């Protein structure tokens, strides 16, 4: 997706990035690569069991400069994850992975938050372990892009009176914490910062000719 944004910015003569921001912050992915220095810092502030979970799934890549810990392919541990010939085994491994991924997300974010509390991570460092795919794309397409008034558009929509309790339907339009069976307040806070502060301020500065100040 990031490469495609770069291609559009390089080749498109007209609009190259359009974002629709509603009330859903979107999918917050598990980091696939972590700087080795940050990985060791996270491990140090976690309980041993949590640290071992991360070390099981992240392996050091010394060929990368700087060195990185890289998330391993799911099928390297859950061998039947893509085994369509054994449907039941595949479904069992896929179910196990989704649970594991949830634990990995919770664990690595817990470590990042602790480091921020200890002032070893900045707010921005911690945010990198929590942000959504949507925000990463908006940063690339608008917040660090050039000539955004010439080449980008942002549409903002708010739906009022969403019946949040109809989770199957409401989850399409707003972030839901299914475990707590309520709106995901953390995701909504990050969405508000992106939609109502960062994007609006960027366009305001650009339209007022202050982008380069």
For residue 147, what are its two tokens?
Answer: 């000539």
Question: Is the pLDDT assigned to residue 76 strictly greater than 70?
Answer: yes
pLDDT in the model for residue 209: 63
Q: What is the pLDDT of residues 134-180, one digit of tens each?
A: 999 999 999 999 889 999 999 999 999 899 999 989 999 999 988 78
The predicted-structure confidence for 9-48, as pLDDT tens digits, reads as follows 999 999 999 999 999 999 999 999 999 999 999 999 999 9
Helix H or strand E encompassing 155: strand 152-156
Tokens for 157? Answer: 């929509």
pLDDT at 213: 38
Model confidence at 4, pLDDT cuts 50, 70, 90, reads very high
Q: Which of 129, 104, 103 is nearest to 38 (CA)?
A: 129
Mean per-residue pLDDT over the chain, rounded? 93
Confidence label for 199 from pLDDT (cuts 50, 70 and 90): very high
202: three-class secondary structure by DSSP:
helix
Full-model pTM: 0.82
Element (H, E) at 172: none
Q: pLDDT at residue 210 above 60?
A: no
- Residues 120-142 have pLDDT tens digits of 999 999 999 999 999 999 999 99
69: confidence class by pLDDT, cuts 50, 70, 90: very high
User: Which residues is 177 bridged to in the sheet?
Assistant: 182
Would the CA dihedral through 15, 134, 198, 196 be positive or negative?
A: positive
- Token pair recorded at residue 100: 């594991």
Q: pLDDT grade, residue 212 (50/70/90)?
A: very low
Place of tokens 């608008």: 142
- Vertex 136 angle, CA 75 and 19, to 5°: 120
195 Cβ contact partners less than 8 Å away, ≥ 6 residues apart:
21, 156
Task: Give the C-alpha separation, 127 to 193, whole Å.
Answer: 12
Structure tokens at 103: 């634990």
Rounded CA separation 202/213 (Å): 12
Q: How far apart are CA 184 and CA 189, in angstroms?
A: 9
């Amino acid at each position: 997706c990031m490469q495609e944004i770069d291609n559009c910015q390089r080749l498109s003569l007209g609009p190259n990035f359009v974002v629709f921001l509603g009330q859903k912050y979107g999918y917050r992915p598990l980091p696939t690569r972590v700087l080795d220095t940050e990985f060791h810092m996270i491990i140090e502030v976690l309980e041993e069991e949590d640290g071992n979970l991360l070390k099981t799934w992240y392996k050091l890549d010394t060929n990368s400069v700087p060195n990185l810990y890289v998330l391993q392919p799911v099928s390297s541990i859950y061998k039947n994850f893509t085994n369509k010939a054994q449907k039941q085994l595949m479904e069992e491994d896929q179910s196990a992975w989704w649970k594991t991924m949830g634990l990995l997300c919770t664990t690595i974010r817990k470590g990042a938050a602790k480091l921020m509390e200890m002032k070893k991570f900045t707010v921005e460092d911690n945010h990198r372990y929590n942000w959504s795919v949507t925000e990463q794309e908006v940063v690339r397409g608008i917040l660090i892009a050039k000539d955004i008034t010439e080449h980008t558009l942002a549409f903002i929509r708010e739906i009022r009176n969403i019946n949040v309790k109809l989770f199957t339907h409401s989850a399409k339009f707003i972030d839901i914490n299914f475990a707590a069976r309520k709106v995901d307040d953390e995701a909504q806070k990050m969405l508000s910062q992106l939609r109502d502060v960062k994007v609006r301020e960027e366009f305001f500065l650009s339209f007022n000719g202050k982008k380069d100040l």
